Amino acid sequence: MEEVALKLKDIEIIDLSVGSKRGIVVGTALQNAVNQHLHSRPIDSFPIPFCAVSAQSDNTNLHGMFELLMQSFDIMGQSLIRMESEKADMLIHPDLKKFSSTDFQARKELIAAGYQAGLQAIPQIKEAIASMS
């Protein structure tokens, strides 16, 4: 997954549309990229439940429509995170304070932050697994 994420170019996964009812980012390009790499296998068919989350930016300096739009995406994302988090057995929170939600070039650093948080959570993961048995 890391290799795929690092090779993807923004233009391959971000399709903008002014007239779309779904918003300025349509999402079809991202959906097609995911389907291609998963061989169109539905996410709910995987043995381990999957949940995608986003992080809210600490950047409150809004300049222009794009920044305002990105902040609204962050707010919607936070609402989705809260709803999806209620279903999770455990949450892992990487340290993302130094990243902006609009920094599409930081994939490698974001993956490393998630990996580091995952390593730090191993004892809690093992404990949770043991308590399920």
- What integer pLDDT is reported at residue 78 of this predicted model? 75
For each of the chain's 133 residues, which pLDDT tens digit applies? 677 777 777 777 777 666 655 556 667 887 888 888 888 888 778 787 766 655 444 444 445 656 666 666 677 777 777 887 888 888 898 998 888 766 778 889 999 999 999 999 999 999 988 988 7
- What integer pLDDT is reported at residue 90 of this predicted model? 86
How far is Cα 88 from Cα 83, in angstroms, rounded to an integer?
A: 10
- What integer pLDDT is reported at residue 119 of this predicted model? 95
Contact in structure between 9 and 20 (CB atoms under 8 Å) = no
pTM of the model: 0.47
54 conformational bin, left if phi > 0, alpha if psi -120 to 50, beta if neither: beta
How far is Cα 59 from Cα 132, in angstroms, rounded to an integer?
A: 40
The mean pLDDT of the chain is 76
- What integer pLDDT is reported at residue 57 of this predicted model? 47
Question: CB count, 10 Å around CB of 54?
Answer: 14
**Segment (H or E) for 65:** helix 64-85
pLDDT, tens only, 45-71? 878 776 665 544 444 444 565 666 666
Q: Which phi and psi (to 5°) does residue 93 adopt? A: -115, 95
